[in-house]
Amino acid sequence: MEKIIHLDKQLFVFLNGLGSEQYDGLWLLITKQFHWAPVFLFVFYLLYKKLGWKHLLLILIFIAVTIAFTDQFTNLVKNNVQRLRPCNDLEIKNIIRIVKASDTFSYFSGHAANSMATTVLVFSVLKKYYRYAFLLFLFPLIFAYSRIYLGLHFPGDILSGYIFGALFGFGFSKMYFIFRKIYFPDSL
């Protein structure tokens, strides 16, 4: 395990070191969910266009429950594992770029888990209607990378967040389709 943690730190130092001051503002914007609102509204429009208001509302409820569950699970893991963020890791904090600091724990990334969970859920619904629905996965990739850029998460935190998020997104998408089949059988 020590070797994996060491490799994770080395990869972080490399990836974090690719940043430069002129792009810091951009990555600070990218890391905030609010700034993704136009993308979210566009996706909601696509869902509405293909499924209508009732189904959009149902999907929004499932997205909210998915985020709440994923976020709480992430916090449970963070508080039990208690891995320091790169910006607080004494071994590397003096050799990395710290654009943003936080005193909470690092493992695993809530940004990665929540963005992947919601993307998997929405993708599972939209893939039937849009050939390029896979492009939705650019959101969690860019969003979570911002956490490495800013000095807040190790790559292992991001990868673990992706894995848990994908599992939760898949599980909640299955529940969504079961619920939809039971309560809206005419729409399948």
How many structural domains are present in the chain? 1
Which residue in this structure is represented by tokens 């000095």?
Answer: 151
Contact yes or no for 121/173 (Cβ under 8 A):
yes
Q: Taking 90 as the threshold, does the pLDDT of residue 150 lie above it?
A: yes
Q: What is the reported pLDDT for 184? A: 83
pTM of the model: 0.93
Confidence of residue 187 (pLDDT cuts 50, 70, 90): low
Report the sign of the C-alpha dihedral through residues 10, 11, 12, 14, in that order: positive
* 51-65 average pLDDT score: 95
Rounded Cα distance, 144 and 14, in Å = 16
Domain hosting 170: range is: 2-187
Distances (CA, A) of 176 to 84, 124, 130, 183: 36, 10, 19, 10
pLDDT of residue 188: 57
The fraction of the chain above a pLDDT of 90, given in percent, is 95
pLDDT in tens, 80-129: 999 999 999 999 999 999 999 999 999 999 999 999 999 999 999 999 99
Give residue-wise pLDDT tens across range 100-109. Answer: 999 999 999 9
Q: What is the pLDDT of residue 125?
A: 96
